[in-house]
Amino acid sequence: MRTIYRIPGAVLIEREHAVPLVHSDRQRGNISVFTREVAAPDGGDRPYLVFLQGGPGFEATRPTSPPSGWLARALADFRVLLLDQRGTGRSTPVGSVIPGATPADQAEYLTHFRADSIVRDLELIRADLGVERWSLLGQSFGGFTALSYLSLAPEALREVLITGGLAPVTGRSVDEVYAATWARTREANQRYHARYPGDLDRLRTLLRRLDEEDHRLPNGDRLTARRFRQTGMWLGDSTGFERLHHLLELPIMSPAFLWDAQQASAWERNPIYATLHESCYADGGATRWAAHRLAPEDAVSGELLGGEHVFPWMWDEHAGLHAHREAARRLAEHPWPRLYDTERLARNEVPIAATVYVDDMYVDRSLAEDTVRRVRGLRAWITNEYAHNGLRADGERIVGRLLDMVRGRA
């Protein structure tokens, strides 16, 4: 079934695809995966570029009217397929997982929402659309998924573009990954306070009050000091320093402050962003709350603001995560299978170009550069011009340059 819309500058085709919940066991039934094809009015016969969204656990970007940014540049060469990865957006939602199921059943259900399942969904969708090969653009977690695609079905790919999403591919321990992300997070904190030195005393006063007093967010949750430290996630975004500064300059505990502090948390809109977050770095083995175990002391009881880190207490303090609490605890002990085929990547023949952001707080540069060395033919654009959100901030330039690189024009 498909639905067609025409908007200024584009034609949209929306489809719902039935895919197995468990690709290795079709008796488990199907879920629905939603795609939206975007084409220029005269571009309906152009080759496909599949956009793989960051996350894990977020639906694809929604096109503007007319399309803008990276999407506008991509439409000059492609039809773009926007995928709501399983469990997100208009695909079958995870919601409260399986109402009435045991925690063990809920956890097992969620093991089928990682990058390897997303790749297998796309292989079925490719067959549905009769496409021989297509191109990929993967942002952040979408880049991780692209590397899984290159490991599982490289024959389906014409070329791959990755922005801020070169995962470690050699089975590195998740502890090594999170030790690196904490180091990058500390650097981002230091850059922030160098820009706004007066905010440190204000932050310390705020955190002390949140430890001592009971202040409630508009949704009824208590705003604790450790929950406020999660606003440090903003520091990995090109606009994040100013967002945090503008929050801290508001009268403490005013309605505006509490509202904006609540909006700082993205965990509850898409709960699997939190519940499956560490699994995206688990290239074999269990995570056992790696970010929590490796957190520096000043990230627990001081003024160091965290980044894209999850902690076991979140499922108690964030009301929107309560339904996933027991499943999350079980998944922290789950022995995840490998995501990447190192030998296959070393023999890769698919053209790949990727950005590596020097000051990326979420994806460590040194680990990304190691991946560059291990994937045959991968060309890297290493730059300090952008933060992790470079695709959103300057997408036309970034997509244009990556296409030139992958096609040998730069």
pLDDT in tens, 293-338: 999 999 999 999 999 999 999 999 999 999 899 999 999 999 999 9
- 22 and 136: one domain? yes
Q: Is residue 271 over pLDDT 60?
A: yes
- 246 and 356: one domain? no
- 179 and 326: one domain? yes
Q: Which domain holds residue 278?
A: 174-331
Q: Is residue 410 over pLDDT 90?
A: no
Question: Of all residues in the chain, what percent carry a pLDDT higher than 90?
Answer: 93
Q: Which residue in the block uniquely carries the two structure tokens 């629905």?
A: 32
- Which domain-ending residue is among 298, 331, 364? 331
- Two tokens at 138? 């993967």
- 131 and 260: one domain? no
Q: Is residue 363 over pLDDT 70?
A: yes
What distances in angstroms separate CA 370 from CA 110, 159, 250, 367, 380, one per listed residue? 30, 21, 42, 5, 11
Q: Is residue 100 over pLDDT 80?
A: no
- 362 and 375: one domain? yes
- 154 and 10: one domain? yes
Q: How many domains does the chain have?
A: 2
- 228 and 371: one domain? no
pLDDT computed for residue 101 by the predictor: 82
pLDDT computed for residue 95 by the predictor: 64
Q: Which residues pair with 354 in a beta bridge?
A: 162, 380
The pTM score is 0.96
- 202 and 259: one domain? yes
**Strand order through the sheet with 10-20:** 2-7, 10-20, 30-39, 79-84, 48-52, 134-139, 157-163, 352-357, 378-383
pLDDT computed for residue 18 by the predictor: 97
One-letter amino acid at 176 equals: E
pLDDT computed for residue 265 by the predictor: 78
- Which domain-ending residue is among 277, 300, 331? 331
pLDDT computed for residue 96 by the predictor: 56
- Which domain-ending residue is among 300, 331, 362? 331
pLDDT computed for residue 214 by the predictor: 96
Q: Is residue 97 over pLDDT 90?
A: no
Rounded to 5, what percent of the chain is helix, strand, coil? 45, 15, 40
* 266, 273 Cβ separation under 8 angstroms: yes
